[in-house]
Amino acid sequence: MADNTVDIDSVSDFVSPDAYAALGITATTNKPDISRLPDAIVGGVAQFKEGDKIVIERYSSFLRGRPYLDTKTYRVVRMDEFTGRLHLFDEQLDQNAIMNWKEGLRHGTVFKLAMGHAVSTKKKRGRPRKEPIGGVEEPKPEGEKRGRGRPKGAKNRSKDEIKAEKEAKKAARAKRAALKAK
């Protein structure tokens, strides 16, 4: 039963949990649990270096309620420890990214060390393969090869047979042309 005290008809940038409950919708996301991973920034000092992989859990900094955006694993290409600027590479999507970890901490972004675990909320892109790579191969019987050309046992047509078929086609064409001319 819907709760009549919650206003679900007004326009808003933020939908409250009460409004979700009134509509019978649970506000869930596919946010992975990265709490098991060690923190990448301890006491204002980055615990990673260039070439390390880090997991970044991002939240919106300008929307009301600061909703969750995504969680991705990046490889650190270059970093500036003084400014906090990071040049990152997403190996799953083959894309570069830029992030500032000092600014990100102020906005609630979570930085963790990947420790060999790839974490992402994005689904695989593209059409699935018809036959997966490394699929089960059917064993071929010994001595049988895939042949090319005419199957064994099929005989060539004789020259007389070919000549007779050509004459029949020529006669049929001449007959149609004569009917069309009338």
Note the pLDDT of residue 31.
80
Cα gap 70→58, rounded to integer Å:
5
DSSP letter, residue 12? -
Residue ranges of the domains in the chain? 30-113
The answer to whether the Cα torsion of 50, 51, 57, 59 is positive or negative is positive
Q: Residue 100 above 60 pLDDT?
A: yes
Note the pLDDT of residue 156.
82
Q: What is the pLDDT of residues 137-151, one digit of tens each?
A: 666 667 666 677 777
Query: What are the φ/ψ torsions at residue 31 (nearest 5 degrees)?
Result: -80, 120
The CATH classification number of 30-113 equals 2.30.30
Lowest model confidence (mean pLDDT) among 1-5, 73-77, 87-91 = 1-5
Q: What is the pLDDT of residues 45-62, one digit of tens each?
A: 888 999 999 999 988 888
Other CB atoms closer than 10 Å to residue 100's CB: what's the count?
A: 15
Proportion of the chain above pLDDT 70, given as a percent: 71
Note the pLDDT of residue 139.
65
Lowest model confidence (mean pLDDT) among 18-22, 42-46, 64-68, 155-159 = 18-22
Other CB atoms closer than 10 Å to residue 83's CB: what's the count?
A: 11
Note the pLDDT of residue 1.
47
Note the pLDDT of residue 67.
83
Q: Residue 26 above 60 pLDDT?
A: no
Cα gap 54→71, rounded to integer Å:
10
Average pLDDT over residues 38-50: 89
